[in-house]
Amino acid sequence: MVCAVIEIVVLLALGVVLCWNKGVSSWVGNLAGVFDRAVVKDVDLSGIHSTNAVLMDAGSGKVISEVKGEDAIYPASMTKIMTAIVAIEALDSLEKEITLTDEMFAGLYEQNATQAGFQPGETVKAIDLLYGVMLPSGAECCIALADEVAGSEEAFVEKMNKKAERLGMKKTNFCDSTGLHDPDHYSSAYDIAVLLRYALHNSTFREIVQSARHSTPGTNVHPDGITYYSTLFKNLSDTTVTGGKILGGKTGYTSEAGHCLASFAEIEGREYILVTAGAAADATGIPHIQDCQTIYNRVGAAAAGE
């Protein structure tokens, strides 16, 4: 009798195990199918305004699609991604107060450099300068941070180039912290994608680049503070794309570089990085942002198997 009971229990246990294994196998298979559908293998980059483009899977760093991704470009203000991350990593405290001097503004007005709105003699926290670098693309913020970190812009640029070398940005050479045009200041869409992927691992950088606006506390020059806006988001009223949304990015423009943009988006649970460059300088509207929306929509469609 006891043996019969034991036999029945063993058979029942075996049945449960077999059913459970079958269920797990089915679940694992379904899960693998989900991931297979989510990984975009290739995305069409034709028909865009930009002459250069790289679409990268942010998790793996794998290039999904590219057009002249290794060719030389002028990165314009996409340069400021490197300026920001080098400063963030070098500063002991982001609450440190930095006073902007007349020398920091030398040449900026003459070159028609974009500024955040700070003035000579103004004392500003480092974190507010970092937002000023990334959102309104403030050149004076770049110079102030460079001087604070390295003693001069020239010494800071050496740090930028050393960081680029460590990241494997083989087609990159920086001559300034702002992205103002210099024939010897160049990069590639691929290198900028590598840079953005690295910078996004820093929580401070990620928080800044995802912000649409930032208001500073009062200063000795602006008692009510300054509010500035992202050059990306002020031209991107709707961040939604097929299967996800655009999370942030850094625009750039000079007459030599044309319109360019380094951005990232989350689509179907995965993050993607897109760098476009070389959209015609005389193009009307916002061709770099239009390209961004077009390509991310294609990513979403591909992820959905359309």
Residue 18 lies in a domain: no
The residue annotated as part of the active site, out of 50, 65, 68, 80, is 80
Residue 172 lies in a domain: yes
Question: In the structure, what pLDDT confidence band is assigned to residue 187 with cuts at 50, 70 and 90?
Answer: very high
Residue 9 lies in a domain: no
pLDDT at 24: 42
pLDDT at 40: 80
pLDDT at 172 exceeding the cut of 70 = yes
Q: Is 77 a catalytic residue?
A: yes
pLDDT at 177: 98
Q: Comparing C-alpha atoms, which of 119, 150, 117, 158 is closest to residue 135?
A: 117
pLDDT (tens digit per residue) in 212-266: 999 999 999 999 999 999 999 999 989 999 999 999 999 999 999 999 999 999 9
Question: In the structure, what pLDDT confidence band is assigned to residue 3 with cuts at 50, 70 and 90?
Answer: very low
This model's pTM is above 0.95: no
- pLDDT: is 196 or 5 the higher one? 196
pLDDT at 55: 98
User: In this structure, which amino acid lies at residue 186?
Assistant: Y
- What DSSP string describes 252-297? EEETTTEEEEEEEEEETTEEEEEEEEEE-TT-SS-HHHHHHHHHHH
pLDDT (tens digit per residue) in 113-164: 999 999 999 999 999 999 999 999 999 999 999 999 999 999 999 999 999 9
The residue annotated as part of the active site, out of 50, 65, 137, 177, is 137
pLDDT at 38: 56
Residue 61 lies in a domain: yes
pLDDT (tens digit per residue) in 21-62: 444 444 444 433 334 445 688 999 999 999 999 999 999 999
Residue 95: CATH number of its domain: 3.40.710.10
pLDDT at 192: 98
How far is Cα 287 from Cα 293, in angstroms, rounded to an integer?
10
Q: Which two structure tokens, joined as six digits, stand for 200?
A: 């996004």
> Contact at 8 Å (CB) between 196 and 161?
no
Residue 117 lies in a domain: yes
pLDDT at 39: 64
Residue 76 lies in a domain: yes
pLDDT at 1 exceeding the cut of 70 = no
Q: Is 137 a catalytic residue?
A: yes
How far is Cα 296 from Cα 306, in angstroms, rounded to an integer?
14
How far is Cα 230 from Cα 142, in angstroms, rounded to an integer?
16
Residue 165 lies in a domain: yes
How many domains are contained in the chain? Answer: 1
pLDDT (tens digit per residue) in 50-98: 999 999 999 999 999 999 999 999 999 999 999 999 999 999 999 999 9
**Domain coverage including residue 87:** 41-303
The residue annotated as part of the active site, out of 50, 65, 77, 263, is 77
Residue 119 lies in a domain: yes
Q: If you average pLDDT over residues 207-211, what whole number do you get?
A: 98
pLDDT at 267 exceeding the cut of 60 = yes
